[in-house]
Amino acid sequence: MRDSTVVDDAPIGVSPPASGGWSIGETIEILLKRRSLFFERVASDPRITREVPTLLTIAFLAAMPVGAILGSYAGGWHILYVALKVPLLLLLSLTICYLGFWVSALYVGLDLLPGQVATLCVGSMAITAIVLLGLAPLLWLVIPSQTSETSYHLIALTLVAIFGVAGLVGTWQLIRGLRVLAAPSQHSRRAGVWTLALGWIALYAVVGSQLAWVLRPWLLHPWTRGGLPFIRDLDISIFEAVWRIVGRLIG
């Protein structure tokens, strides 16, 4: 771990954080333009966890409009429902995976503090949410005034695409951060960064997929009758559903 507790190479226009940490505006600028500074602070500043509330706020503020746009396909209360569920999906997935992330980092030889793991992961989640917000207009463009089976599938494909792009960006930033944190370690430990990152990604993908299934509905089926619940009754897991679909295709 790095011994210095002060980052000297703060970018022009962004001063080193005072006792209260960076503001929301400064944090967004750093996440978008000065990510190396953020990673260096995670590696060197023992008080880095004070930035977590700001990062969570950014993630929620960026993810909620995406959910509102998606919910506008059904309209009514569904706009509020999905606006709440998108940031909840990101946060709950990370919360469930957090302990596994930290323990696996220790297992491969990276001596990371719990606060470092939390801040790095929440920072990557905030970047993912910001990218989602940037791509949200594409989702808005494909939402028609009238629901139909064709529009439903088009929106679903667009939703998968923008979440995929945002997830790739957030994943890459997570890998970059892990490489910075592993820099002072032995070469053999640095070599395990990719293995660790792939393990984190796989765990988050499994947990996130199941939570997305639990938090349904996200879109209104054109053939749906009656009111829309906040969360649909859970009958099977997403993995059972996928297995059934594969079985139908094969058989």
Closest CA to 154 of 30, 162, 118: 162
Phi then psi for 21, rounded to 5 degrees?
85, 180
pLDDT bin (cut points 50, 70, 90) of residue 149 is confident
Query: Across residues 29-35, what is the average pLDDT?
Result: 94
- The CA-based angle 165-209-148, given to 5 degrees, is 75
Closest CA to 217 of 79, 95, 65, 125: 79
Query: Across residues 129-147, what is the average pLDDT?
Result: 88
Closest CA to 228 of 90, 59, 85, 63: 85
**Cα(192)–Cα(208) distance, integer angstroms:** 24
**Cα(73)–Cα(139) distance, integer angstroms:** 10
**Cα(180)–Cα(174) distance, integer angstroms:** 10
pLDDT bin (cut points 50, 70, 90) of residue 8 is very low
pLDDT for residue 230: 65
Q: Give the list of residues 6+ apart from residue 189 with CB closer than 8 angstroms, or none.
A: 108, 109, 110, 182
Lowest mean pLDDT among 2-6, 81-85, 162-166, 214-218: 2-6
173-223: per-residue pLDDT in tens?
999 999 888 876 655 565 678 889 999 999 999 999 999 988 888 887 666
pLDDT for residue 186: 54
SS3 content of the chain, % helix, strand, coil (to 5): 70, 0, 30
pLDDT of 128 > 70? The answer is yes
Mean per-residue pLDDT of the chain? 84
Structure letter (DSSP) for residue 11: P
pLDDT for residue 4: 42
Tell me the residue type at 129: A
pLDDT for residue 13: 47
Q: Give the list of residues 6+ apart from residue 196 with CB closer than 8 angstroms, or none.
A: 104, 105, 108, 110, 178
% of the chain exceeding 70 in pLDDT: 80
Whether this model's pTM surpasses 0.85: no
pLDDT for residue 115: 95
**Cα(8)–Cα(10) distance, integer angstroms:** 6
pLDDT for residue 188: 52
